Structure 1
Amino acid sequence: MDLDPLILSRIQFAFVVSFHAIFPVFTIGLASFIAFLEAVSFKTGNPVWLRLSGFWTRVFAVVFGMGVVSGIVMSFQFGTNWSNFARASANFLGPMLSYEVITAFFLEAAFLGVLLFGRDKVPKGVHLLAAVMVATGTFISSFWILAANSWLHTPAGVELREGIFHVVSWSDAIFNPSFPYRFAHMGLASFLTGAFVVSGVSAWYLLRGREVEANKKALSLCLWLILILAPTQAVLGDFHGLNTLEHQPVKVAAMEGNWETGTNVPLLLFALPDNAAETNHYEVPIPSLASLILTHDWNGEVPGLDLVPRDERPPVVIVFWAFRAMVGLGLLMIAVALTGLVLRVKGRFWRTPWFLQSLRVMSFTPFVAVLAGWIVTETGRAPWLVYGMMTQAQGLTPSLTGGMALFTLIGYIVVYALVFTAGLYYLLRVLYVGLEDEQDDHEADRPMRPLSAAHVPFEYSESNREADALSGPANQGGH
């Protein structure tokens, strides 16, 4: 059996990028949340905010470490699997990756040490500054990475001469047409991811009656954030879609499963795209809605896959369903935000078990939505490596064989599985200890308590007696 090095290299890079992406998308949002907690603690002196900051800083440290380890190998793949692309794009991507390291990674690394180990050792203002600098560093890092990645989709400011990209305008190359939308979209996704994870963990603690006051505050804060950001992300997604329609119409056609350019194009809720027959099976359409969403006109013209030959089309099935997964999860986030608002009005947002349980489940959905979005973005660019200028086949390492690609792919899977298992183990230990004071951290070695009905407070009241009962014996003494 012949092994295709191109397919295997694409799978390998997709695996590594997807594995790595879930960590920075969380740490970017979490770093800003920690900086906010530090600022409120600095201003109010309330120890609850300080304990929340200390706990989530420990979580941040574990996830940040996993992100660094999983991301290091990504740049090496450019040389091993995509050497033609690395050589061709070095004039632009080389400096971009260097800027990310110099301006962001050094900043994060320096101040992360102060954030982790400087509490009670440096002035409170310095510790707050460290939190702000770490959060700033995460955004600077995402700026350079997304600018470089956006350039692959909407290349600008360069000329391709004798197979080499030469930068003629750095401002045009960095601030390429899709970058502002993708940077904003990813930033909001990071905030939403952090908010849903914090709310899910806080809900889990509330169901177990642990640190009720602190987790109630964290949950309230995150629900307000989700209520604002989830609808905003939908609006921004619409602008991003219009930008994609202008610069990458074939990707939009694949997202919509639209094979022929035309007007009054329906929105397909369900379909099974057939690449060979260039049609869809079992369609469930809403008439003209795709035209309305994409052109803001019921009669608007929507591009079809017939704009380009078959060999220039992305894999429609993958793009089509990944896009629906992303949008569906986004709508679910909005529904959760509105539900939280209704329960807040009734004063039950933190005292309703089924809602808290739903938040626990929802803590995983932002990661799925982000991965679905990346699949739409990157798979929808195929077969182009640099859109309209260099194909994936042209960027592949000439001497790479299918066996070599398969060997490294298996190696990455094994190593990443070990990294993820170890990281997840320590992360769960941090989550189990919870918001306990640093002098009580040794109790992380105690046996885990089972989550049973005895831990779930189905009925609450505002009386002090029942509030004490809510905390339970396991929560007395700060536990």
Structure 2
Amino acid sequence: MDDFFAARSQMALSLGFHIIFACIGMIMPFFMAFSHYKYLKSQKEHYRKLTVAWSKGVAIFFVTGAVSGTMLSFELGLLWPQFMLHAGPIFGMPFSLEGTAFFIEAIAIGFFLYGWGKFNPWFHWWTGVVVGVSGLLSGILVVAANGWMNSPSGFDYIDGEFLNVDPIAAMFNDAWFTQSLHMTLAAFVATGFAVAGIHALLLLKGKNQELHWTAVKIALAFGAIAAILQPVSGDISAKDVATRQPAKLAAMEAHFHTEKAAPLVIGGWPNEKKQTVSYAIRIPGGLSFLAHGDTNAEVTGLDQFPEENRPPVLITHIAFQLMVGIGMLLLVVGIIGIFGLWKKKAYLQSKWFLTLLVMMTPLGFVAVEAGWVVTEVGRQPWIIYEVMKTRDGLTPMRGIVYSFWVYAFVYLSLCAIVTVLLIRQVRQLDKKEHNLPTYP
């Protein structure tokens, strides 16, 4: 493993873990706040117990997200100093604002966790809402910074120098909205189905029926609505990528040759040397329509780019197919769930549907990981698209492979600790607790 591969692997590992912690930390506060709202309106005990239980989960993921996010910020400077030397002054604003959002979230979560019986009930509820909103803003701001790497703006690049920096234009780059929308919906989908699946499993085991059924309904509603909206976001993103990063789109679709009425490739195994795709289903004109809204439009292929500037096709294509396939599956399950909640259908509590939800538990996060592979690998070989190549941003420091193994140990340890804590919290859900926090 050379230093370049080790550095990229370390960033991939760190992002892979952090994105799960961050997604759950962003979305769970909304579930918690909704359950809290229902408790304040109905005074039903199971809503209070569910709110307290979910708030403990929020605290766990807030801490782990903060730790893993801090490690990532150090990695940017340590592994990619040449990148940060030029990029830091340009896209530093969303990172600084993200820090502000994080501080607000930290204050609000402290108020919520320790505010039971000390604040007015509705003010206490509002602090929980602030936790969710500030966490979501934090995520959007980080994605805006990543969007700048895909669509660099807010500066002039003249003779290798970054001049006339405009941090506002850099933050509101052409990619920030589409990426933020897609990532936010993905976080709701992944977290919603994961939480619904965990509580569905506890229902199948005959645990506290009222509490877990309430949890399934709340999480499923959030996750299903986001899953139904996600294809719209995906279409917006695809059209945007077709305009800004045609090489990435070509890699996503394993589209080797520029042509009109380009077919949409479903599945398949790309061969980059032969520039063919085996075992694929092709829909005539499908790619042209999705990319440009016209079945006869010309779609740029990889043949229009120098070989050294082409993204890895196999990884990008497989990850993209995996993301879309899981998204479609969750969309179908979401429609079934929303219809059942709307019409109050008994099948929602049937063994087959609860089992289906359990099977969906990890899939949303698999799709999130696949989506980030598409975003990052599909941009290669650029760290700043068409401005700086990834290799040029690497540190000259040697021995990065040792850093990779240390970070791998830390993240695996974090994952193990979080898993143990969550299992303990889940087991405590069905115990009778007489000292639950409440209002006088």
Could you say which TM-score interval applies, normalised by the shorter chain? over 0.9
For the 8 Å contact 1:319–1:379, the answer to whether it is kept is yes
* Contiguous gaps of at least 5 residues in structure 1: 442-479
1:430 counterpart (411, 425, 432) = 425
For the 8 Å contact 1:91–1:166, the answer to whether it is kept is no
- Matching of residues 70-219 of structure 1 within 5 Å: 70-101=68-99, 103-161=100-158, 163-166=160-163, 168-219=165-216
1:305 counterpart (302, 307, 324) = 302
> Which residue is equivalent to 2:39?
41
How far residue 98 of structure 1 moved from its aligned partner, in angstroms, is 2.2
How far residue 294 of structure 1 moved from its aligned partner, in angstroms, is 1.9
User: 2 CA distance for matches of 1:124 and 1:346?
Assistant: 31
1:28 counterpart (14, 26, 29) = 26
List per-residue Cα deviations over 1:261-304 (Å, max 9, x = no partner): 10122222232212223332343322222222222222121110
How far residue 412 of structure 1 moved from its aligned partner, in angstroms, is 0.8
List per-residue Cα deviations over 1:330-372 (Å, max 9, x = no partner): 0110111233345554732442112111211211111101000
User: Partner of 1:276: helix, strand, or coil?
Assistant: coil
User: Partner of 1:56: helix, strand, or coil?
Assistant: helix
For the 8 Å contact 1:312–1:383, the answer to whether it is kept is yes
Which deviates the most, 16-25 or 169-178? 169-178
User: 1 CA distance for matches of 2:149 and 2:141?
Assistant: 13
Aligned AA (2:272)? N
How far residue 140 of structure 1 moved from its aligned partner, in angstroms, is 1.9
**RMSD value, Cα:** 1.9
User: 2 CA distance for matches of 1:164 and 1:95?
Assistant: 20
User: 2 CA distance for matches of 1:215 and 1:283?
Assistant: 42
- Matching of residues 295-444 of structure 1 within 5 Å: 295-341=292-338, 343-344=340-341, 345=343, 347-397=345-395, 399-401=396-398, 404-434=399-429, 436=431, 438-439=433-434
User: Partner of 1:330: helix, strand, or coil?
Assistant: helix
> Which residue is equivalent to 2:236?
239
How far residue 436 of structure 1 moved from its aligned partner, in angstroms, is 4.3
TM-score with structure 2 setting the length: 0.94
How far residue 129 of structure 1 moved from its aligned partner, in angstroms, is 2.0
> Which residue is equivalent to 1:470?
none
Which deviates the most, 252-261 or 294-303? 294-303
Identity across the alignment (%)? 33
List per-residue Cα deviations over 1:221-275 (Å, max 9, x = no partner): 3333334221210111101110111100110000110101101222222322122
Aligned AA (2:422)? L
User: 1 CA distance for matches of 2:209 and 2:108?
Assistant: 31
User: 1 CA distance for matches of 2:344 and 2:83?
Assistant: 58
User: 2 CA distance for matches of 1:222 and 1:349?
Assistant: 17
TM-score with structure 1 setting the length: 0.86
- Matching of residues 278-297 of structure 1 within 5 Å: 278-297=275-294
How far residue 437 of structure 1 moved from its aligned partner, in angstroms, is 5.2
1:224 aligns with 2:221: yes
For the 8 Å contact 1:108–1:138, the answer to whether it is kept is yes
How far residue 11 of structure 1 moved from its aligned partner, in angstroms, is 1.3
Which deviates the most, 343-352 or 108-117? 343-352
User: 2 CA distance for matches of 1:204 and 1:167?
Assistant: 56
For the 8 Å contact 2:228–2:334, the answer to whether it is kept is no
Which deviates the most, 256-265 or 349-358? 349-358
User: 1 CA distance for matches of 2:361 and 2:22?
Assistant: 16
Aligned AA (1:406)? V
Cα distance change, pair 269–143 in 1 and its aligned pair in 2 (3 A)? closer
List per-residue Cα deviations over 1:177-199 (Å, max 9, x = no partner): 11111111111112112211221
User: Partner of 1:439: helix, strand, or coil?
Assistant: coil
User: 1 CA distance for matches of 2:170 and 2:430?
Assistant: 45
Cα distance change, pair 201–208 in 1 and its aligned pair in 2 (3 A)? same
For the 8 Å contact 1:8–1:405, the answer to whether it is kept is yes
1:276 aligns with 2:284: no
Aligned AA (2:126)? L
User: Partner of 1:219: helix, strand, or coil?
Assistant: helix
Aligned AA (2:349)? R
1:55 counterpart (43, 50, 53) = 53
* Contiguous gaps of at least 5 residues in structure 2: none
For the 8 Å contact 1:216–1:350, the answer to whether it is kept is no
User: Partner of 2:434: helix, strand, or coil?
Assistant: helix
User: Partner of 1:283: helix, strand, or coil?
Assistant: strand
Which deviates the most, 236-245 or 334-343? 334-343
How far residue 327 of structure 1 moved from its aligned partner, in angstroms, is 0.3
Which deviates the most, 26-35 or 43-52? 43-52
> Which residue is equivalent to 2:7?
9
